[in-house]
Structure 1
Amino acid sequence: MSNHTSNPQFQDGLDPLEESQIDGAIRDVRRISDNTSTELSWEQRILIGRAAIRTFEATGYMRLPNHRADRIFVVSSLQRLAYHEADGNSVIDIAQWCMEQWLSLLQRSSEDSDALRGAGQAWLARTQTALARIHRTEGSSSSGSSGRPHSMSERVSYSTAEEARDAERAIMEADARAHTADYVEARGTLIPAVDYFVRAVELADRDGGLTGELLSEAAETNMSLGNVEYSQNQEQYFTRAIRYLRRASQIQGFRLSPYLQSYLDDYGRLID
């Protein structure tokens, strides 16, 4: 992991035993992050993940000045493990530890796009519980997979007064739902998620590291927030999402998911 110096200590101040422990913990994280493997049950993965965290804490690994790429991998992998359930239920201790690591990385460098993305993913994962309840209650998702962005209806001319009244009634009903507890909770976690993703995109773009994956995640997060916001606030999020998707679709070698491509095809014409 690190190079030997002329004395028994490593450059990072680790002794050989600590070096070996950290290497083993990183290997364990790689093993449990392999979703294609059926070797380990989910419960076993959780136990291994917690043991790895104890090693990282005992050795001070997460505070070392080097090995940034490995640390990003470790925290990202453990965060995916913590939010294994699609409805947002988490392994609380692992999820909390991961968020603490993102914030620690951002304290060192507020312009770390990977840490910003990781924090955005954490807030987005927390939102899934409220979005799942909204889906069960209404029978249609209010996450990124939901339907037409209401605010864009202003850009479409209606052929009859009846259609215009129907659209106005739909907006009023959506705003009434936006008052309910699940929508309020969803906004409370999606707003910081969007903020982190927006900053991550800006910095990755500035530094030449912008990817289609990051743009897609950022777009879906904005779409999710747009779908639980009040009608007067929605358009900014849908507009940003379309621009992210358009940018992602132009990256050579990257392809949007069928859903996101369909969303861009349907609504991209409404956004300059």
Structure 2
Amino acid sequence: MSRQSKSSKHSHHSKSGGSSSSNNEDVVEQVKSIVTLLYEVVSSRPEECEAYIPSARSATSALDQIHFFRDPQRFAEQVWILHGLQQFAFYDADAGSIRDVTEFCQTSWLRILRNFPDNVEVLNGLGSNWLQRSQSTLAQIHQEEGDSSSQGSSSAGSPSDPRRQGPLYVEARGSLQPAVDFFARAVRSADANGTTTGELLASAAESQMSLGNVTAPPGDERHFSHAIRYLRRAEATPGYTLSVYMQQYLNDYGRYVS
């Protein structure tokens, strides 16, 4: 029952103008305790996530009320809070997301980006937001292609499949193009200051692979080639190991890309 009391704690904070700055600090501390809890639930008790959605929403509305993301002095806290909320919002990305929390994260990342236009963490956060947003649409496409092929339609899911112009494909491309763009900017920024990680390169590769899968030829080739180049760099990053799926992709298709 403590969850309920946690999410209702915010209601009394906006009444007093005189001590608003200390009230704001109280709100931030309460939000941090909620986000700490969300991190823990996602990582260790994902089956309980649904019960914590009201807590996540109370955190976003409290942060909105105090205009938390307008203060460039609080960058580290902003990034930590957004990562936690975003991870929670996509706790079952294939089934969809908690849409209002997802939107809140995206709007907040964009607000921080105005103050830190080349920041790798912020660009990565935006890329991740768009990539995860596409997952439920990609899952629907995958299911449709599976249904079609099980009914004996051999062309389903092949690159020339005319349904690549269908609404699900258009929706998927609408999420994946911004993901590709933000990850590309993140990689460029990281390259410029020598902080590029294998994880970032693998995320950039995944966005390109996914966009290639929902793009009709010959446009798909360009995305697959970009993905291979990112994967080669990720594989060569000291201390980083590609996932089995990514390694397989690189092994299967790498020889076709110079």
Q: TM-score, normalised by structure 1?
A: 0.78
CA RMSD in angstroms comes to 2.4
Aligned positions of 1:158-197 closer than 5 A:
174-197=160-183
Q: Equivalent residue of 2:73, what SS?
A: coil
Distance 1:25 1:77 in 2: 11
Given that 1:171 and 1:231 are in contact with CA atoms closer than 8 Å, whether structure 2 keeps it comes out as no
1:111 and 2:118 equivalent? yes
Given that 1:99 and 1:119 are in contact with CA atoms closer than 8 Å, whether structure 2 keeps it comes out as yes
Paired position in structure 1 for 2:28: 22
C-alpha deviation, 1:129, in angstroms: 2.4
Given that 1:111 and 1:203 are in contact with CA atoms closer than 8 Å, whether structure 2 keeps it comes out as yes
Letter in 1 for 2:21: D
Which runs of 4 or more aligned residues in structure 1 lie more than 3 Å from their structure 2 counterparts after TM superposition?
13-17, 36-40, 169-173
* Cα distance change of structure 1 residues 62 and 138 upon mapping to structure 2, 3 Å threshold: same
Distance 1:139 1:170 in 2: 8
Q: Equivalent residue of 1:256, what SS?
A: coil
Q: Equivalent residue of 1:131, what SS?
A: helix
Given that 2:120 and 2:187 are in contact with CA atoms closer than 8 Å, whether structure 1 keeps it comes out as yes
Distance 1:215 1:33 in 2: 24
* Cα distance change of structure 1 residues 37 and 173 upon mapping to structure 2, 3 Å threshold: closer
C-alpha deviation, 1:234, in angstroms: 1.3
Q: Equivalent residue of 1:190, what SS?
A: helix
- State percent identity of aligned pairs: 39
C-alpha deviation, 1:38, in angstroms: 3.4
* Cα distance change of structure 1 residues 101 and 187 upon mapping to structure 2, 3 Å threshold: same
Aligned positions of 1:127-206 closer than 5 A:
127-139=134-146, 174-206=160-192
Q: Equivalent residue of 2:93, what SS?
A: coil
Distance 1:86 1:59 in 2: 29
Distance 1:128 1:38 in 2: 21
1:264 and 2:247 equivalent? no
* Cα distance change of structure 1 residues 186 and 253 upon mapping to structure 2, 3 Å threshold: same
Among 94, 104, 110, the residue aligned to 2:101: 94
| Greater fraction of residues in helix | 2
C-alpha deviation, 1:77, in angstroms: 1.5
Letter in 2 for 1:89: G
C-alpha deviation, 1:178, in angstroms: 1.5
Unpaired runs of 5+ residues, structure 1, are 1-12, 141-168
* Cα distance change of structure 1 residues 226 and 104 upon mapping to structure 2, 3 Å threshold: same
C-alpha deviation, 1:203, in angstroms: 0.7
* CA shift digits 1:208-245 (9 cap, x unpaired): 22111111111011001111111111111111111111
Given that 1:175 and 1:231 are in contact with CA atoms closer than 8 Å, whether structure 2 keeps it comes out as no
1:122 and 2:129 equivalent? yes
C-alpha deviation, 1:247, in angstroms: 0.5
Q: Equivalent residue of 1:120, what SS?
A: helix
* Cα distance change of structure 1 residues 30 and 179 upon mapping to structure 2, 3 Å threshold: same
Given that 2:86 and 2:102 are in contact with CA atoms closer than 8 Å, whether structure 1 keeps it comes out as yes
Q: TM-score, normalised by structure 2?
A: 0.82
C-alpha deviation, 1:39, in angstroms: 9.8
Paired position in structure 2 for 1:77: 84
Aligned positions of 1:7-46 closer than 5 A:
15-34=21-40, 35-38=42-45, 41-46=48-53
Among 56, 59, 70, the residue aligned to 2:66: 59
Among 219, 227, 245, the residue aligned to 2:231: 245
* CA shift digits 1:157-201 (9 cap, x unpaired): xxxxxxxxxxxx899862413122221221122111111111111
**Using CA pairs below 8 Å that are at least 6 residues apart, which structure has the higher relative contact order?**
1
Given that 1:105 and 1:112 are in contact with CA atoms closer than 8 Å, whether structure 2 keeps it comes out as no
